[in-house]
Amino acid sequence: MSGLQKSLGGAVGTFLALSTILGSGMMILPGTSYQDLGRSAWLPWAVAAVSVVPLLYCYAWLGRRHPSASGVAHYSEVAFGRPVGRSAGMLATLALVAGIPATAITGGRYIALFSGLPSLAWLFPVAVLALATLIGCLGTNVSGKVQVALVLGLFALVTCTALVALGTHGVRAPSTAVPPLGKLGSVLTAVYVAFTGWETVAFTFEEHKRPDAIPRIFAASYVIVVALYGLVLLGLFSTVDPDDKALDQAPLLRLAERSLGDLGQPVTLALVVAAIAANVCASVLALSRLVYGMARSGYLPAPLARVRHRDGNPVTSVLAVGAVLTLIALLGSTGVMSFQLLFVLSGGIYFVLYGLGAASYTKLAGPGAPRAVAGLCALTVVAVTVLAGPPMWTCWALFAALWLTTAVLTRRPSRTEPEYEPANR
């Protein structure tokens, strides 16, 4: 029996999902897409929002029937065997180890820019990761309450700023002009990063009281995410010129300044801190669960699978994750490690994980209607892989190399953990 306690309810689970999804993508991507495509920037966002739905359905289905701390690693192992499961788990670990520090560094750069204090570019990432580690050590219940408070604050700030902008400057209708396909494709590939995170949420599913509520958590978080991004885009259309050079560095600051005047900078600062802190706290929690699950399955050192008896919290994995992430954030924020590489690596791998989840769903759900969902997922995965070019191809090649290496080294029969057999047949 698992040592993790089932303590998450539907409401807290939804806020945890929102914390994981709304991160650095909100800080930059609405501005860069608007700068590239003008008021046609809504098109790649709409395409991404619609095309990601089948992939989310797959993860919701898998989470409800296979709620495991190993997430996609467990789904892949059940569907395709131990080598694929281990490779998927290692790839997911790599994605989070790269992506979480990159998000923290993004927040540090924003805050350093606003405050005029360059040292915050590395102090903030280190501080927010230390705080996230401490909160993770206190347990899922404490972390869940923090996510609720931070996301409510973030939601209120974004909504009020966008609505004030629209009320003050009026609504400028999006353009229906279709940009050149090459340009649209490159922006679409970047925008997809804003719709990653649900595969990370899956690492917390083992702690949900009611796995049958997972599809509703996905649906609610999806609607809120799409609404927030839509408000930000409309606000930018109404208040900021697409030629504004600040759009690729601080689009939310421009939006807040145009709608709130002198209050724009402190509001933006609060928004950035809330978004980054919520995302980092939720992601550290999720990664610690993945590391715990991988250790429990024998893929990582056994001490990482230890749990604290009084609350079932895998404190050892939380501390290990926090130490590694803090070191990488320090190296990335000081220029020793490539900050851009962290983002490219994590973004590409997240989409590979979507593809692996969809493939696992296809194998486990069987024939009939699931085949249609699988076809839509395959269309999205192939299209994004082709459009993204070499960085995405490299991520798929990395998975293939891991799988081949694991298949050669692992000669034991494939096994699954009996406690995670499907609850509904």
Instruction: Tell me which residue of 169, 144, 363, 375 sits closest to 259, measured CA to CA.
Output: 169
Mean per-residue pLDDT of the chain: 87
On the question of pLDDT at 178 being above 50, the answer is: yes
DSSP state at residue 173: P
The yes-or-no verdict on residue 262 having pLDDT over 70 is: yes
Task: Tell me the per-residue pLDDT of 47-83, one tens digit each, with 9 for 90 and over.
Answer: 999 999 999 999 999 999 999 999 999 999 999 999 9
- Rounded mean pLDDT, 77-99: 92
pTM for the model stands at 0.87
pLDDT tens digits along 138-151: 988 888 889 899 99
Kindly indicate whether the domain formed by 10-408 is annotated with CATH number 3.50.50.60. no
Helices (H), 207-338: 214-239, 251-260, 264-296, 315-333
pLDDT at position 421 is 45
Q: What is the mean pLDDT of residues 296-314?
A: 90
106 versus 41: the higher-pLDDT residue is 41
Res 193 pLDDT > 70: yes
Torsion over CA of 407, 408, 411 and 412, rounded to 10 degrees? -30
Residues 370-422 have pLDDT tens digits of 889 988 998 888 888 888 888 888 889 999 999 999 888 766 554 444 444 44
- Least confident stretch, 37-46, 74-83, 104-113, 276-285: 104-113
Residue 411 has a pLDDT of: 63
Domain boundaries, the chain: 10-408
Q: What is the mean pLDDT of residues 222-231?
A: 94
Quick one: pLDDT at residue 186? 81
Alpha carbon separation from 415 to 30, 92, 277 (Å, rounded): 44, 20, 38
Exposed, middle or buried by CB within 10 Å (0-12, 13-18, 19+), for 142?
Answer: middle
Q: Which two tokens stand for residue 90?
A: 């290692």
The 10 Å Cβ neighbour count of residue 243 is: 8
What DSSP element (H or E) covers 403?
A: helix 390-409
Work out whether the CA dihedral 153, 280, 142, 91 comes out positive or negative: positive
- Reading the block at residue 332, the tokens are 């990335």
Structure confidence at residue 116 (pLDDT): 83
pLDDT of 215 > 70? The answer is yes
Identify the weakest region by mean pLDDT among 160-174, 231-245, 273-287, 379-393. Answer: 379-393
pLDDT at 10 over 50: yes
* Contact (CB, 8 A) for 57 and 354: no
**Cα-flanking dihedrals φ and ψ of residue 389, to 5°?**
80, -155
pLDDT at position 420, please? Answer: 42
Q: Rounded to an integer, what distance in angstroms lies between the CA atom of residue 289 and that of residue 277?
A: 19
- Distance, in Å, from the CA atom of 141 to the CA atom of 352, rounded to the nearest integer, reads 31
Q: What is the pLDDT of residue 392?
A: 84
